[in-house]
Amino acid sequence: MGDDSGMDAVQRRLMFDDECILVDENDNVVGHDTKYNCHLMEKIEKYNLLHRAFSVFLFNSKYELLLQQRSGTKVTFPMVWTNTCCSHPLYRESELIPENALGVRNAAQRKLLDELGIPAEDVPVDQFTPLGRMLYKAPSDGKWGEHELDYLLFIVRDVAVSPNPDEVADIKYVNQDELKELLRKADAGEDGLKLSPWFRLVVDNFLFKWWDHVQKGTLPEAIDMKTIHKLI
């Protein structure tokens, strides 16, 4: 294990037990590998390992976006603020279903419970709207990083939240102006505030116009699941 000895026990178990779905740049499944290998920059660069992921943006009925701060024990991007939930569908039958991204939506429901304690009945899989896909690569530190084909899922629901401290350090709901203030602070380096690179990509490319659609009730107009946005 070399220099992994300091890895948190829960994160270590997840790193080796969870098998991510490997895809090519067109999102065709080409295999599977451990979460550990999928996040080692050395393997990402050597084998061009790309895995399927999702990012959930959950809004309450006031159209405020739920943000989370990743826990300090996370291997990648600890203590970084990000969107509601970011994770991976696993290489298992229920999370590989391609029709209307059902496998990814099943995974999103599973992880909202796992990370934020949101009960499955609060986030029915048919309530998620897959809006688009993006491909990006982002190093976390010298050793770890991300290379993901990320499904962007929106859902508007009032939910019960009970964060899992192994996964989440803090949560907050923000409106558009409050998020813009967070972005300003992150850019200015104030309060040590950091935002995840994938959240920043969504913010800079899509979020505010999609958020306007949420508030107007016109979200279906924003759906584009044909394009894979390569934001590298």
Instruction: Give the separation between CA 116 and CA 167, rounded to whole angstroms.
Output: 8
Which amino acid is it at 194? Answer: K
Known catalytic membership, residue 86: yes
**Among the listed residues 40, 114, 62, the one whose alpha carbon sits nearest the alpha carbon of residue 84:** 114
- CA distances 102 to 65, 105, 109, 112, Å, are 23, 5, 11, 15
CA angle 93, 49, 225 (to 5 degrees): 60
The DSSP bridge pattern shows strands 228-230 and 168-174 to be unpaired
Q: What is the end-to-end Cα distance of the chain in Å, rounded?
A: 30
> Which is catalytic among the residues 19, 86, 95, 146?
86
Which amino acid is it at 175? Answer: N
Instruction: Give the separation between CA 21 and CA 19, rounded to whole angstroms.
Output: 7
**Among the listed residues 126, 174, 172, 156, the one whose alpha carbon sits nearest the alpha carbon of residue 216:** 156
Instruction: Give the separation between CA 172 and CA 169, rounded to whole angstroms.
Output: 11
The DSSP bridge pattern shows strands 85-87 and 51-59 to be antiparallel
Known catalytic membership, residue 20: no
Q: What residues are annotated to the active site?
A: 86, 148
